[in-house]
Amino acid sequence: MMSKVRTTLTIDEEVLRAVKVQAARTGKPDSQVIEDALRRDLGLDLLERLWSRASLNQEEAMALAVAAQHEARRKAIE
């Protein structure tokens, strides 16, 4: 788990109202609703899901990346 930092945001009242409604519906704190939305919008949730499903170890992943790089270079030459 990553450490949390406190920050101050200035956001539209309508957005804050929607955050509070979502928080009440899901039982999550406002800050978690905002963080979840940011993670989705920034694509961080997708990266986390992909990494959690990764079955390759570091050596296998590197070998696959190098092979893909060689294939891309080979195609560029043709």
Q: What is the pLDDT along the chain (78 residues), one digit of tens a residue?
A: 678 999 999 999 999 999 999 999 999 999 999 999 998 888 877 767 776 777 878 888 888 888 889 888 888 887
Q: Is residue 35 part of a domain?
A: yes
pLDDT at res. 75? 85
Number of domains the chain is built from: 1
SS3 43: coil
Give one word for 10, left, alpha or beta, with left for phi > 0 and alpha for psi -120 to 50: beta
Q: Is residue 56 part of a domain?
A: yes
The model carries a pTM of 0.58
DSSP alpha helix (H) spans, 1-78: 13-26, 30-42, 44-53, 58-77
Those residues whose C-beta lies under 8 Å from the C-beta of residue 32, and which sit 6 or more positions away, are: 23
Q: Is residue 7 part of a domain?
A: no
pLDDT at res. 47? 64
Q: Is residue 8 part of a domain?
A: no
Q: Which domain holds residue 26?
A: 13-77
Rounded to an integer, what distance in angstroms lies between the CA atom of residue 32 and that of residue 24?
12
Q: Is residue 40 part of a domain?
A: yes
